[in-house]
Chain A
Amino acid sequence: MRVPEHRGPAGDAPVLVAEEEVPPPPPPKGPRAIVWARRRRALQRVWRVYRKNTMGMWGLYILAFFGAVAVFAPLIAAGEGLDPTCPCTGTPYDAPSLRFPFGTDNLGRSVLTLTIWGSRISLMVGFFATLISMLIGSVVGILAGYFGRWSESVLMRLTDWFLVIPFLPLAIVLASVLGRSLLVIIMVIGVTSWPSTARIVRAQVLSVKTRPYVERARALGASHLHLVTRHILPNVGPLIFANTVLTVAIAILSETTLSFLGLGDPLSISWGTILEFAFGAGAAGGGQWWWLMPPGLAIVFVVLAFTMCGFALDEILNPKLRQR
């Protein structure tokens, strides 16, 4: 049986939500199964368009590479290499050689090993900070857009406040009061970077909630919870997703900056803390470019890749851009 395509009014974003409950395997086709079949097809449609986007695909290749490096770090470079007392370390400040392709740091550790292991912390902080930021941003945006009135004015004032306050000084003040740890870094970045998401989500909710099919559902007696989770969320989901990808880039850059300023977790190695150590040990004055280049270039490539993917997704999913 061919399920008819369910799309909203013209310009409606294709539905791409995968965050609700897992679909039960459907022997008798219920409404839930129809919905999921439709979503799968929408996803495939987005993927077909995305595949043709050169910029987006290159971003994806770069991310796949760094993702693999982070996941398989223990297999690529032995973890003992991070311990300065390990016999596997070389002489300090060694220029690149066959044994140490990116040279060594002031403790004789291989910069290649540090960079590989640093990818884990940097990417992890990026993802979890983005998760927090997306959660706060979506909840605030949906509540403000859906309920309106006083909750909207209160929430939007809060959002404006976070937008106006300079991000870095706010993060610095928070992080220095809370102390140096990975959890603090994640929380601080997550709590300070949600306002732009909230605004985008609110704008989209405002346009979705006036559409006839939402009104129809309300007339049939749907509860607020049903309307938000079944009708509003699936429609703003794609936009939230495109925004997420761009936020990861910002979160990774923020982690790097905060770590460089000495607010990172001193016990875990990220690309930002490698740069902090290198600069603190005088690598710039000493001309040890091999210590500074690998972590810096890794940041540039990862942030560039996330930005490229985000732009590509935005072009496909953002109804405003598609109409151009």
Chain B
Amino acid sequence: MRGYLLGKVLQALLTLVFVLVFNFLLFRVMPGDPAALLLRGSAAFNPETVEQVREDLGLDQSLPRQFLTYLGDTATLNFGESFFLRGAPVSGVIGDKIWPTVLLVGTSTIASAVIGLIIGIYGGWKRGSAFDVGSLGFTLFVYAMPEFWFGILVLMAFAGGVGIFPSIFPTGGYETPAAGLTGLRHIVDVLNHMVLPFFVLTVAFLGEYAIIMRNSLIDILGDDFIQTARAKGVREKQILWRHAVPNALLPTMTLTLLSIGFVFGGAITIEFVFSWPGLGWLTVQAIDAKDFPLLQGLFLLFSAAVIVASLLADILYMYLDPRVRAA
């Protein structure tokens, strides 16, 4: 068991090192001069400034030396300066935007996991019923839909107001600007802004949970111990909730935990559509401004979040599943 844990931790560390190396090499191995790439399109683009930037970035040093500097900087959360926000440190810029993303994507992930799992349980239990077929069709349809397109339609209907739809919700943002609301009224204002993106994110990711739960439950229901329980005369409700569901939940745990890891990077397009000032919105700004230091910092954060989440999933598995513990 200790070996299993150690192996998983080492694996996560190795993956993290891969990410660091990738992030490091991205600019140094790509064709063209990184300094010129960084300055591309800016007014200050001339040989002198390029030379200056090369020196500032330490690009005149040897590659291993550069890597050591890079590792040290990363360990101290020094990701350089954002150029779209005029020299603000990247870590500070990212830190400012974490909270809105965690609020929006965290709550909607929990909501879609809970609703999706319940849909999956009923679908798997009454396999082939109208509810099952309907929810499967819905899942397939939502899967085929780019989630930002769904977001735009919802935005158009409920914020802009089209035809029979009244415009009842704000068109975007995190709070009513310059209203200076405080306390409870501020919270209500933020929640009011959150309704539409929350709804879109919840619906867009329901299906994954529903499908995994349904298939996992169907597998479990075919197991011998369910038949034994039936033979003993256990009531159907008990079989479902006491015997089948707890076992079927295991594979969905991994998905849920991984999704929490994707919380940071999973809502890039939705945050953009609803101008929700979180990490996803920041990513789009960084793309538009060609703000490479900021993009690299965001990429590192998104990847690290997923790596940690998948490590947590492995550890949780060890506690929940005796078969893993025995191995």
Contact = CB atoms under 8 A, between A and B. Distances in A.
Contacts of A286: 160
Given A261-B272, A262-B284, A165 B146 contact: no
Interface string B1-39: 000000000010011001100000011001000000100
B149 interface: yes
B298 A169 contact: yes
Nearest to A170: B299
Contacts of B302: 166, 169
B269 interface: yes
Using C-beta atoms within 8 Å of the partner chain, give the interface range for chain A.
35 or more
B109 interface: no
Contact of A164 (B15, B140, B161, B283): B15
B268 interface: yes
Contacts of B152: 275, 279, 283-284, 292, 296
Contact of B160 (A157, A160, A161, A284): A284
Contacts of B296: 173
Contacts of B156: 283-285, 287, 289, 292
Interface in A168-187: 168-170, 172-174, 176-178
A287 B152 CA distance: 10
Nearest to B272: A261
A5 B181 CA distance: 78
A209 B145 CA distance: 39
Contacts of B149: 256, 275, 292, 296, 299
Residue of A157, A169, A286, A300 with most partner-chain B CB within 10 A: A169
Given A164-B15, A289-B162, A169 B269 contact: no
Contact of A177 (B37, B141, B284): B37
Interface string B281-324: 00110011010100110110011001100100000000000000
Using C-beta atoms within 8 Å of the partner chain, give the interface range for chain B.
35 or more
- Chain A interface SS verdict (over half): helix
Contacts of A261: 268-269, 272, 284, 287
A165 B20 CA distance: 12
B26 A307 contact: no
Nearest to B17: A161
Contact of B268 (A168, A173, A176, A249): A168
Contacts of B198: none
Nearest to B156: A284
A172 B294 CA distance: 12
Given A260-B269, A303-B145, 18 more contacts: A161-B18, A166-B302, A168-B268, A169-B283, A169-B303, A170-B303, A172-B295, A176-B292, A177-B26, A178-B30, A261-B269, A261-B284, A283-B152, A283-B156, A285-B155, A287-B162, A292-B153, A307-B140
Q: 8 closest pairs, A vs B, by CB?
A: A303-B144, A304-B144, A296-B149, A169-B302, A284-B156, A287-B162, A166-B265, A173-B299
Interface of A: 157, 160-161, 164-166, 168-170, 172-174, 176-178, 249, 253, 256-257, 260-263, 272, 275, 279, 283-287, 289, 292, 296, 299-301, 303-304, 307-308
18 contacts: A166-B265, A166-B302, A169-B283, A169-B299, A169-B302, A177-B37, A249-B144, A253-B144, A261-B284, A262-B284, A283-B152, A285-B156, A286-B160, A289-B156, A296-B145, A299-B146, A299-B149, A307-B143
